[in-house]
Amino acid sequence: MTRIELVRRPQHSALFSVLSPFIAVLITALIGGIMFAMLGKSPIGGLHAYFIEPLTEVWSIHELIIKATPLILIAVGLSVCFLSNNWNIGAEGQFIMGAIAGSVMPVLYPGITGPMVLPLMLVMGMAGGAAWATVPAFLKARFGTNEILSSLMLVYVAELFLDWLVRGPWRNPEGFNFPETRSFHADAILPEMLSASGRAHYGFVFAILAALIVWFMLSRTLKGYEIRVLGESPRAGRFAGFSAKRMVFFAFIVSGALAGLAGIIEVSGAIGQLRPAISPGYGFTAIIVAFLGRLNPLGIVAAGLILALSYLGGEAAQISLGVSDKVANVFQGVLLFSVLACDTLIRYRIRIVRPQPAAAPEPAR
């Protein structure tokens, strides 16, 4: 019987390293089309509403950039973590803690204004995210705790902490008992880039800068080399004189700080106050972004825009087709699976084995 085998490649395929994300997107679109057909909608119409419509108007491109900003910031930090073999799944929590820490100034001290407020908020946001990420880092380095579990569980702690704050001590005294903090004053709002055409704020510039800096670090400096060596082989890293424990802290602090920065940018730029829910799961979606971008910060910029499109497409499809906005989550999940599956092609090639095994001809490579 004819069967399909995976044959290990002698060397990573450079071609498929580049092609694999595109194949994954293609497969996702295919499965999405089937899903629309099963929902009784036209597959072409569905995919059009999802992936094309949001790009046809200027205001919605602004929205795309707003949604891509936190995804890129978080995913760039996660790439440092994942490359060094530190599995930070709790970026969502670090995002929230960054938002809370960054909001201390405008919420508790609304009387303090001036040009220094915003920079201070951004720094405090980074510190808050980094501090929250230090917890799983410490537990891993000191006690050997599994960081996947500890970082993930801290997400729920952060979510509930935010919920308690905005319903309790930080609730807006003039807010008619709505669970919200007071709206940020003008000096605490991240300005818009082109306010004539849409809402996109300067957070996107931070995201691009972060991607460039981390890209430079990873590909051009000894620190990046250290990250990659420790991720590939901790023992070889020790032989090289690198400390895996210090790397745990470094990776978690970098990614926590970037997630925290994303949190305060989101609150200060897009929302303008703290609410019980400030993220539609950016911290988790960023994991997909990181892998879709091949853990390369420049790839992550592109991947962030694609995933942001899936959020917008979800909203658009809900309006124009009347499908649930949960379809966006389905797309994201399918995309992650496709990306991971397509990565197999980098290390393996597909071989079709025909019945007469003794002289099975090999397909050209």
Partner 1 sequence: MTASASEKPGPTPLLAVEGITKRFGDLVANDAVDFDILAGEIHALLGENGAGKSTLVKMLFGSLMPDGGRIVWNGEQVSIANPSAARHLGIGMVFQHFSLFDSLTVAENIALSLEDDVPLSTVADEARRLGEVYGLTLNPEALAGDLSVGERQRVEIIRCLLQEPSLIILDEPTSVLTPQEAERLFETLDKLKAEGKSILYISHKLDEVKRLCDRATVLRHGKVVAHCDPRAETAKSLAAMMVGEEVQAVRRTHDAPADGEAGRDVVLGVRNLDQPPLGPFSTPLRAIHMNVHAGEVFGIAGVAGNGQSELFEALSGEQLQDNPNAVTIGGAPAGRLGPNGRRRLGAAFAPEERFGHAAVATMPLTENILLSRHASDASAYQSGGRLGMLRRSALGRTLARVVDAMDVRKSGENPDAGTLSGGNLQKLILGREFDRRPRLFIVNQPTWGVDAGAAARIRQALMDAATAGAGALVISQDLDELLEMCDRISVIHNGEMSEPLDARTVTREQLGLLMGGAEPEKHHGVAA
Question: Which lies closer to partner 1 via its Cβ, residue 174 or residue 362?
Answer: 362
User: Where does this chain touch partner 1 (CB under 8 A) — which range of 127-135, 188-196, 248-256, 357-365?
Assistant: 357-365
- Work out which of 26, 169, 238, 333 binds partner 1, going by CB under 8 A: 238
Q: Which two tokens stand for residue 340?
A: 């991971």
Angle at 30 between CA 26 and CA 33, to 5 degrees: 135
What's the closest the beta carbon of residue 200 comes to partner 1, in angstroms?
Answer: 32
- Work out which of 15, 240, 319, 341 binds partner 1, going by CB under 8 A: 240
Distance CA 278, CA 203 (A): 16
144 near partner 1 (CB under 8 A): no
Q: Which two tokens stand for residue 224?
A: 């990046």
What's the closest the beta carbon of residue 340 comes to partner 1, in angstroms?
Answer: 18
Distance CA 90, CA 87 (A): 9
Indicate the burial class of 134 (C-beta count within 10 angstroms; 0-12, 13-18, 19 or more).
Answer: middle
Half-sphere exposure of 302 (CA within 13 A, CB side): 12
What's the closest the beta carbon of residue 219 comes to partner 1, in angstroms?
Answer: 9
What's the closest the beta carbon of residue 5 comes to partner 1, in angstroms?
Answer: 10
Give the footprint of partner 1 on residues 181-220 (CB under 8 A): 220
Which residues have a Cβ under 8 Å from the Cβ of 109 and sit 6 or more positions away?
none
- Work out which of 223, 329, 340, 349 binds partner 1, going by CB under 8 A: 223
Place of tokens 């995976």: 6
- Work out which of 10, 40, 114, 115 binds partner 1, going by CB under 8 A: 10
Q: Which residues pair with 349 in a beta bridge?
A: 7
358 near partner 1 (CB under 8 A): yes
User: Where does this chain touch partner 1 (CB under 8 A) — which range of 40-48, 50-58, 168-176, 234-242?
Assistant: 234-242
| Cα 198–chain centre separation | 23
> Which residues would be at the binding site for partner 1 (CB under 8 A)?
10-12, 220-223, 225, 228-229, 232-233, 235-236, 238-241, 357-362, 365
